[in-house]
Chains A and B, each alone.
Chain A
Amino acid sequence: MTALDELFVKVRAENRAALIAYIPAGFPSQSGCHKVIEAFIAGGVDAIEIGFPYSDPVMDGPTIQDAAVTALANGTGATEVFQALATASAHVPAVVMTYWNPIERYGVDKFAAAISANGGSGVITPDLTIEESQGWASATVSSSINPIYVVAPSTSDSRLSQVTSKCGGFVYAASLMGVTGARTTVSSGAADLVERVRKTTTLPVAVGLGVSTREQAKGVAAYADGVIVGSAFIKAMQDAPDEASGLAAVKELAIELAKGVREGR
């Protein structure tokens, strides 16, 4: 069992959803990223996703795109991703979220082993289809980490069961058809999708895309096992006049969201 698996056992026992926070490695700077991780933990997040910034983030909206540009300009690569992962996993369950090419370039088995060596529980691979996942599946087994796949509202029931059967840790349910970024409302399609996913697996289901407020977190926590927030934290850093106030805003947002995931049921 990974630390992530254990977390979901715990939150299920507490009858609440887990709060999962996302930050790209190297954003807003190498040291700044580690401070954001500390703010996450001080604010009470349950798990952390470290993003591997990528030059061609086709699933990301402008907020995460901008953060990736900053992180890449800061010289972020695999080394920095693993350092951030180690910082996070020292406190809470932590995973890496990355487009596929950086994994393939690093070496599939080597990447899985490095995740494990840095205390990581798994990897979210949003553009790795199950058809192309054979090598990755065996690498994640060898390194005892969770392969986490993303499903979408357009995913058919038959395909959902194929995808969730390959998942470990949790199933990442994208709340809507679109790219990452804060939305004023969380799509009603999310609840339907979670319900359809549950018919195929007993794994926990976490919802991402568009969640930014305590109210939204509360709404999603009513039916999901995890609430994933990314762009809202990045925006808090980007909008702040300086790093210190950004970090304070991140911590404040985490505290609010942590309340939200406890109010859903």
Chain B
Amino acid sequence: MTTEPQIDLSQILGHFGPYGGRFVPEALIGALEELEEAHRTSQLDPTFVAELAELHRTYTGRPSIITEAKRFAEHAGGARIILKREDLNHTGSHKINNVLGQALLTKRMGKKRIIAETGAGQHGVASATAAALMGLECVVYMGEEDTKRQALNVARMKLLGAEVVPVTSGSRTLKDAINEAMRDWVTNVETTHYLLGTVAGPHPFPTMVRDFHKIIGEETREQVLELTGRLPDVVMACVGGGSNAIGIFHRFISDPSVRLIGLEAGGDGVETGRHAATITGGTPGVLHGTRSYVLQDANGQTIESHSISAGLDYPGVGPEHAYLHDIGRAEYRAITDEQAMHAFALLCKTEGIIPAIETAHALAGALQVGNELGKDAIIVINLSGRGDKDVQTAANYFGIPLD
């Protein structure tokens, strides 16, 4: 008896079940097709693969290490807590994985200019970094509100030679930065690549960005097996658009014993309406070129999201997460600002690691799940970013005076 090759129908044309796809002006179709083709052929091109691997080894600092957080674990029911240290990557977060891949693709397509959106500034900094490294012009769109919350990252991008454009439309946050980047792209698509920073947007972005981040899960799986001799019980990550979460989840999707848990930004609490927990509190819809869960009202208007974390403050989420949620392969929970900041402070004081506030949502989730599972459990957390950029926000939150 022969086995028929398995075709995953949900992946055809960039769909994940009913989610994903392409909802864009016709003007962008050519560029999306060109990008899809460049991505497809580059993955089969040993030169491209080797060039990216070399950059990861000599520039990013991959493989990133894992750290067992024993003192933090005492607060998580005694479960073994293992941190995947994406915060130690060059530029301080997982974002560089995707950015280097897309910057190489930009050169491969013969384009000279990249544009990017950024919320917390992590993706903007990573994009500005890659542009400097590869001699590309770089414009970063950032909500005016976020340029204030993340002033340090704005300065960083400027030092790296990027132009930072504060976006004053709409809610002046990440969603509006994406709108403005898409307007730029539609106008300058001949010369410009839109270096989208998350697993959302029109096909091929959700698939391509995931492909550039899946190295996180691949490394983690090997490292955890080596350290503990078995697969973890749970893999956890924070979810805004969802790139770091897909990155660490993807290699584990085919390991049915491993629970995958995404932690969304619950803001003041999902019940207050002031949150960014798109899967927990949203409904299926179309935003920024893809069908997924969206925070929206009865007329299909996007509802503004709220989170202490600029990087999670987004009313959409990647379509693959929507699909993993619906088929029950991954779980999604909301973590409030207060819970996240508690976990933030705890990691600082128990492990000497200042995490990004985004990442602190995953840490707060681990405190819950560790207490649910008890001490035989092995929990892996994607420590997606470091918290240097959040020092001011955290100081304000905890009432630490800054002169």
> Do these two chains interact?
yes
List A residues at the B interface (Cβ < 8 Å).
54-59, 61, 65, 69, 72, 77-78, 100-106, 126-129, 131-132, 149-156, 159, 163, 174, 177-179
B113 interfacial contact with A, CB 8 Å: no
Interface residues of B in 155-189 (CB under 8 A from A): 169-170, 175, 179, 182-183, 186-189
With both beta carbons as reference points, the residue of chain B lying nearest to A58 in the complex is identified as B182
Binary CB contact string for chain B from 302 to 319 against chain A (1 if under 8 A, 0 otherwise):
100000000000000000
CA distance A72 to B299 in the complex (A): 10
CA distance A54 to B186 in the complex (A): 18
CA distance A156 to B283 in the complex (A): 35
B134 interfacial contact with A, CB 8 Å: no
With both beta carbons as reference points, the residue of chain A lying nearest to B302 in the complex is identified as A55
CA distance A159 to B27 in the complex (A): 11
A130 CB to closest chain B CB, in angstroms?
9
- Given A58-B182, A150-B26, A174-B27, A101 and B13 contact (CB-CB distance below 8 Å): no
B301 interfacial contact with A, CB 8 Å: yes
Interface residues of B in 250-293 (CB under 8 A from A): 285-289, 291
CA distance A98 to B301 in the complex (A): 12
Do A72 and B30 have beta carbons less than 8 Å apart? no
Do A101 and B294 have beta carbons less than 8 Å apart? yes
A234 CB to closest chain B CB, in angstroms?
16
CA distance A127 to B286 in the complex (A): 10
- Given A155-B30, A156-B30, A177-B187, A127 and B24 contact (CB-CB distance below 8 Å): yes
Do A177 and B26 have beta carbons less than 8 Å apart? no
B326 interfacial contact with A, CB 8 Å: no
A124 CB to closest chain B CB, in angstroms?
12
* Other-chain residue from B23, B169, B183, B187 in contact with A128 (beta carbon distance below 8 A): B23
Interchain residue pairs with CB less than 8 A apart (8): A55-B170, A69-B170, A100-B23, A104-B300, A129-B21, A129-B29, A132-B21, A178-B187
User: Which chain A positions have C-beta within 8 A of B299?
Assistant: 77-78, 102, 105-106
Interface residues of B in 295-339 (CB under 8 A from A): 296, 298-302
B128 CB to closest chain A CB, in angstroms?
23
A183 CB to closest chain B CB, in angstroms?
12
Secondary structure type dominating chain B contacts: mixed
CA distance A217 to B300 in the complex (A): 34
With both beta carbons as reference points, the residue of chain A lying nearest to B286 in the complex is identified as A101
User: Which chain B positions have C-beta within 8 A of A57?
Assistant: 179
B179 CB to closest chain A CB, in angstroms?
5
With both beta carbons as reference points, the residue of chain B lying nearest to A150 in the complex is identified as B26
With both beta carbons as reference points, the residue of chain A lying nearest to B21 in the complex is identified as A132
User: Which chain B positions have C-beta within 8 A of A69?
Assistant: 170
With both beta carbons as reference points, the residue of chain A lying nearest to B32 in the complex is identified as A129
User: Which chain A positions have C-beta within 8 A of B179?
Assistant: 56-58
User: Which chain A positions have C-beta within 8 A of B288?
Assistant: 56, 58
A107 CB to closest chain B CB, in angstroms?
11
- Given A56-B288, A58-B182, A179-B183, A105 and B300 contact (CB-CB distance below 8 Å): yes
CA distance A105 to B300 in the complex (A): 5
Q: How many residues of chain B get a CB closer than 8 Å to chain A's CBs?
A: 35
Binary CB contact string for chain B from 186 to 220 against chain A (1 if under 8 A, 0 otherwise):
11111000000000000000000000000000000
* Other-chain residue from A132, A152, A177 in contact with B23 (beta carbon distance below 8 A): A132
A40 CB to closest chain B CB, in angstroms?
24
User: Which chain A positions have C-beta within 8 A of B296?
Assistant: 101, 105
Do B301 and A129 have beta carbons less than 8 Å apart? no
B46 interfacial contact with A, CB 8 Å: no
B25 interfacial contact with A, CB 8 Å: yes
Do B186 and A56 have beta carbons less than 8 Å apart? no
User: Which chain A positions have C-beta within 8 A of B27?
Assistant: 152-155, 174, 177
CA distance A128 to B202 in the complex (A): 12
B22 interfacial contact with A, CB 8 Å: yes
User: Which chain A positions have C-beta within 8 A of B190?
Assistant: 154, 177
User: Which chain B positions have C-beta within 8 A of A102?
Assistant: 299-301
With both beta carbons as reference points, the residue of chain B lying nearest to A62 in the complex is identified as B169
B10 CB to closest chain A CB, in angstroms?
15
User: Which chain A positions have C-beta within 8 A of B289?
Assistant: 127
User: Which chain A positions have C-beta within 8 A of B24?
Assistant: 127, 129
Which of A127, A150, A153 has most chain B Cβ within 10 Å? A127
A110 CB to closest chain B CB, in angstroms?
13
With both beta carbons as reference points, the residue of chain B lying nearest to A65 in the complex is identified as B169
B305 CB to closest chain A CB, in angstroms?
12
CA distance A78 to B183 in the complex (A): 25
A172 CB to closest chain B CB, in angstroms?
9
User: Which chain A positions have C-beta within 8 A of B183?
Assistant: 58-59, 61, 179
Do B300 and A101 have beta carbons less than 8 Å apart? yes
CA distance A55 to B209 in the complex (A): 26
Do B186 and A58 have beta carbons less than 8 Å apart? yes
User: Which chain A positions have C-beta within 8 A of B189?
Assistant: 154, 177
CA distance A78 to B298 in the complex (A): 9
Which of A54, A100, A149, A163 has most chain B Cβ within 10 Å? A100
Do A131 and B13 have beta carbons less than 8 Å apart? yes
User: Which chain A positions have C-beta within 8 A of B186?
Assistant: 58-59, 177-179
